[in-house]
Structure 1
Amino acid sequence: MSDDLRDLPLRERKKLRTRRALSDTALRLFTEHGYDATTLDDLCDVVEVSKRTFFRNYRSKEDVALASDSDLWSAYLDSMATLETDGPLLDALQAVLHTTLSAMDPDWDRRFLTTRKLSEGVPALQAHSLGYCQDTTRTLIEAVNGRAGDNVDEVRLRLTVEIFVAAWRTASLRWTALGGDGGRDGLTKLVQETFAEIPAALTCSA
């Protein structure tokens, strides 16, 4: 039993196992047979669960295909309690991202890389991913705003969160283009390098 499941109540362990079985199997079927050619009935038959069980875990085919993204950002939002509010916000957001990436389960890297590669060739997943990114950005802004209190400058806060999300997307796309080189460590390194480029990017000439 993996360490991230060991301390959970039995019901939660079963639910998480089902959720992971659905996402892992979905990625395998989508990769082997094609996203459009694989139906929810196919997925549920292989995992041996009902469609009702599927919809208790995911809202759609797009959701289960992008589960590694939602797993990361759900964990990130849970880690927001560690956000430092007395220094540069961008540094604090990056620090929470580093903590979150380090704590993801050992197989997350593979699932995330497979998801990114799959998304590149499926327009429906690209559109869903962009929509999810917008929703996540809005949720992050609300979460940071709640932590920062009434004295925060809303425009600067929004710009900072948008820059943070853009830096993450840039780093993760580079990592995908490199075939996931270096695994988790390689991704973390690219994230650090990308954030380090932000000051120069803000004064970059056309």
Structure 2
Amino acid sequence: MTSPTLSEVALALFGSRGFGGVTLDELCDEVEVSKRTFFRYFSGKEEVAMAPLEDMWRALLDELEKADPDGRPLLELMEATLLAVLDRVADDAWAGRALLSYRLSRRTPSMDAHTLHFCDSTMRAVLEILHRRLDLPDDPRPRLAGDMLVAAWRYALDGWSAGDRPDGRELAARVREAVAALPGSLDLTAAPRG
């Protein structure tokens, strides 16, 4: 059994019975794999449940290794890389799994904690790639640019997940809109109500 199939079965079970309603033994029995095989692909139930979104971010790391920086702003480079990955992976099947995964994570504290850890380690990997490949300053700006992209991603994902029909193109459009709003958010005036 391949890991995408394992992830698909896990998401279906978690969706019908809840994350806590499915034991690892039950999951392994359902897909007819041993725990040893399961742990070849995943570190636990949280990782198998988050696989669609985590796979997309791993693809982003691979894409960053090849991306042509061509002198554009760092945030633009990262946005273009994210959108290129979405264009490649976000078919209807992926979008459906990603939607299930994200909705499940919003209801499951252990998955939300797993996501925070994954996000932090992925951002460290992004920064390692960027610093190795690009002439970037050793100050907070590269990290903050990455964090802004992640914030825009999460905002886009929140809006996208509220819909009934997952569509990867809609998610990409929401990411574009959210990233476009970042500059305006940095100089938004905090005026008192009048």
Residue number among 57, 63, 76 corresponding to 2:47 in the alignment: 63
Q: Does 1:121 pair with 2:107?
A: yes
Tell me the percent identity.
39
Relative to the length of structure 1, the TM-score reads 0.86
Q: Which residue in the other structure is 1:99 paired with?
A: 84
Q: Does 1:148 pair with 2:137?
A: no
Partner SS, residue 86 of structure 1: coil
Q: Which residue in the other structure is 2:143 paired with?
A: 158
| Number of residue pairs matched by the alignment | 188
Relative to the length of structure 2, the TM-score reads 0.91
Structure 1 CA distance for aligned equivalents of residues 100 and 68 of structure 2: 30
Instruction: Indicate if the aligned counterparts of 1:66 and 1:115 stay in contact, CA closer than 8 A.
Output: yes
Q: Which residue in the other structure is 1:86 paired with?
A: 71
- Please provide the CA RMSD for this pair: 1.5
Q: Which residue in the other structure is 2:185 paired with?
A: 201
Partner SS, residue 133 of structure 2: helix
Q: Which has the higher contact order (CA 8 A, sep 6+)?
A: 2
Structure 2 CA distance for aligned equivalents of residues 124 and 85 of structure 1: 40
Instruction: Indicate if the aligned counterparts of 1:90 and 1:161 stay in contact, CA closer than 8 A.
Output: yes
Structure 1 CA distance for aligned equivalents of residues 68 and 125 of structure 2: 15
Residue number among 43, 48, 59 corresponding to 1:75 in the alignment: 59
Bigger shift: residues 152-161 or 140-149? 152-161
Instruction: Indicate if the aligned counterparts of 1:180 and 1:186 stay in contact, CA closer than 8 A.
Output: no
Matched residue type, 1:32: S
Q: Which residue in the other structure is 1:12 paired with?
A: none
Instruction: Indicate if the aligned counterparts of 2:90 and 2:168 stay in contact, CA closer than 8 A.
Output: no
Matched residue type, 1:123: P
- Deviation of 1:177 (Å): 2.1
Instruction: Indicate if the aligned counterparts of 2:90 and 2:169 stay in contact, CA closer than 8 A.
Output: no
Q: Does 1:37 pair with 2:21?
A: yes
Contiguous gaps of at least 5 residues in structure 1: 1-16
Structure 2 CA distance for aligned equivalents of residues 139 and 194 of structure 1: 23
Residue number among 163, 168, 177 corresponding to 1:178 in the alignment: 163
Deviation per CA, 1:69-123, whole angstroms, max 9, x where unpaired? 2110111111111141521111111111111001116211111000111112111
Partner SS, residue 197 of structure 1: helix
Instruction: Indicate if the aligned counterparts of 1:26 and 1:43 stay in contact, CA closer than 8 A.
Output: yes
- Deviation of 1:48 (Å): 0.8
- Deviation of 1:129 (Å): 1.1
Partner SS, residue 36 of structure 1: helix
Q: Which residue in the other structure is 1:14 paired with?
A: none
Instruction: Indicate if the aligned counterparts of 2:3 and 2:41 stay in contact, CA closer than 8 A.
Output: yes
